[in-house]
Structures are given as structure tokens and as C-alpha cells.
Structure 1
Amino acid sequence: MKILPLYAVPQYGPQVTDWLWQAFGTSDSRDFFASIVATSQREGEMPLTFVAVEGDKLVGTVGLWRCDLISRQDLYPWLAALYIDEKQRGRGLGAQLQQHVIEYARTLGYPQLYLYSACKDYYERFGWQYIGDGLDYPSKSVHLYRFTL
């Protein structure tokens, strides 16, 4: 498996858009996710999208974004939009994609990385520290995590 920036393999952009829209969006938000994916494909700039590829098959994706939770713009950067193809889950790909973003953020000199999730007990297994709850728009409670680099 290789983890590549999406700008190096832009043919996977439509699939990443569909995954993010289906996993995190609403029926009318595909254009929103298409915009995120389109603007995360510029070399050397954030936001960035990374993809996990086996042969020519897309198996997962993750982002490194300036902001992923509008109510907490004081925190940055964010590991965002971690998604593994349903048929590929249980193989440790989520851990590998997290580690890739952690190492990338470390090389950029960031002291910490943040993420939010509606689920609890997943990210703690990988060294993320729960730091409290936040609000996703408009009023959904989510768990906030920090990873010290």
C-alpha cells in the first residue's frame, strides 16, 4: 500500500468526494465536499488530502486541514476526514493514515494536531488525548482530541 497526496493521483478525486459526502454529509452537500476535495490538491499548501492506494485501487483517505470544526478555529491543524473503504476495514489502514498525517505535520513543525469525532474510544488507542467536547454545526456535540507531536 502507498499513501500519496491526492494531487499526485487526481483521478481518485471523484471517489474521495463520494466517500466523504456519503460518510459525513447530507443529501444536498455533495458540492460542498467536492469543493473541499478540489481545494485540497495544491502541492505545498493546506488543506491537503492523502489517499491510500493498493495497486490501482483506492482503499482510504485522510486530510490535513487548517480547520475542521468551525466552532474551534483557535485549534489547528486538524487531522480530518479519515475514511476507509468498507471492504478494507479491520486491516489497520486507519492507523497507517493517521500516522502518515502525524509525521507530515511533524515535518512542518507543528507542536500538536487536533481532530474531532462523534465516536469515543477509537482514537485513544492511537495516542490521541481527549481534551473535551465541542460543537459541530449547528449543535451536535462531538469529542475533541489532541496529539502532541
Structure 2
Amino acid sequence: MQIDYLCDHPRLIRELAELNFNEWGQYRPNDTLEARTARMRAACRKGAVPSVVVAIEDAQLLGGALLIDSDLASRPDLTPWLAGVYVKAEHRGRGIASQLVTRIVNEAAALGIAELYLYTDKAQSLYARLGWEVVEDTVDDDGLEITVMKRLIPTT
């Protein structure tokens, strides 16, 4: 298994966008798969915010994660964000999500980013094990109860 930039695997853009849309699309009722695919394509960069990384094995997409400017409209003061961490169900339990998160943290460190944010409604323990701290429990822009977390990134 390898973690790589999505931009190096453009054939996977729509598949990752579809996985994200199926997982979280209900929280953005006006969103479409086409719009999400366009946003995913626009985020395909290297060594920048935004960027997208994917886990790949035997040329198959296992999951992905994004480094983006903002992921919560009600908290524009918090930036940048880890977002869209997703691993296909049949590949969960192998530490892939942890590897994706670590890769995004490393990307942020390489960019000189001092702290990174995320929000989750059910994976607080995963992120806490990876060094993330709770900022607040709140309700997101769509009425979902979430936990906002941050990770301090050591500078080298």
C-alpha cells in the first residue's frame, strides 16, 4: 500500500469524489456529485493548500484525505483543515486512516503550518490517539453535533 498525491492518479478523482459524496453528501443538500468532483479536481495539488492524498494498493483506491483552507463556515478563524478522511469499508482496520492523517500532518509540517484543524462526529478517539486535542463540541453548519479538534505541528 502507498500514500500518494491524487493529482498523480487523475483517474481516481471521480471515484474519491463519489466516495466522499456518498458518505457526507446528505449534509450539503444542494451539492451534486459533479460539483464535488470539480472541487476534488481543483484541490489536486502538491505541496500546497489545498491538496489531496490517496491510499492505493494494486492500482485500487483504498481511501483518501484532504488538506484544505476551511471546512466549517462558522469557524473561518480556524485554518487550515484536515478533511474528507475516508477509507473503503472493506479496507478498514488496517491503519490506513491513520496513515492518511499522518501524511496530511506531514504535508502541513512541510508547508510550515503550526496547527491543523478537523471536525468529526464519530472518530474522536482515532484522532486523539494520533495527537489531536478537542477545541470544542459544537453543532456544524448543517445541524450535526461535532467535535472540532486541532493538532499542533512541531516545526523543524
TM value normalised by structure 2? 0.89
1:102 aligns with 2:98: no
Any unmatched runs of 5+ in structure 1?
Answer: none
Task: Tell me the amino acid that sits aligned with residue 135 of structure 1.
Answer: V
Any unmatched runs of 5+ in structure 2?
Answer: none
Correspondence list, 1:55-74, <5 A: 55-74=58-77
Report the Cα distance in structure 2 between the residues aligned to 1:99 and 1:45, rounded to whole angstroms: 16
Aligned to 2:80: 77
- Secondary structure of the 2:142 match is coil
Aligned to 1:34: 37
Query: Is 122-131 or 40-49 further displaced after alignment?
Result: 40-49
1:139 shift after superposition: 2.6
Residue identity (%): 30
Cα RMSD of the aligned pairs, angstroms, is: 1.5
Aligned to 2:56: 53
Aligned to 1:142: 146
Residues 118, 150 of structure 2: 8 Å contact kept: yes
TM value normalised by structure 1? 0.93
1:141 shift after superposition: 2.5
Residues 71, 134 of structure 1: 8 Å contact kept: no
1:71 shift after superposition: 0.9
Aligned to 1:17: 17
Query: Is 38-47 or 138-147 further displaced after alignment?
Result: 38-47
Report the Cα distance in structure 2 between the residues aligned to 1:42 and 1:122, rounded to whole angstroms: 26
| Residue number among 91, 94, 119 corresponding to 1:88 in the alignment | 91
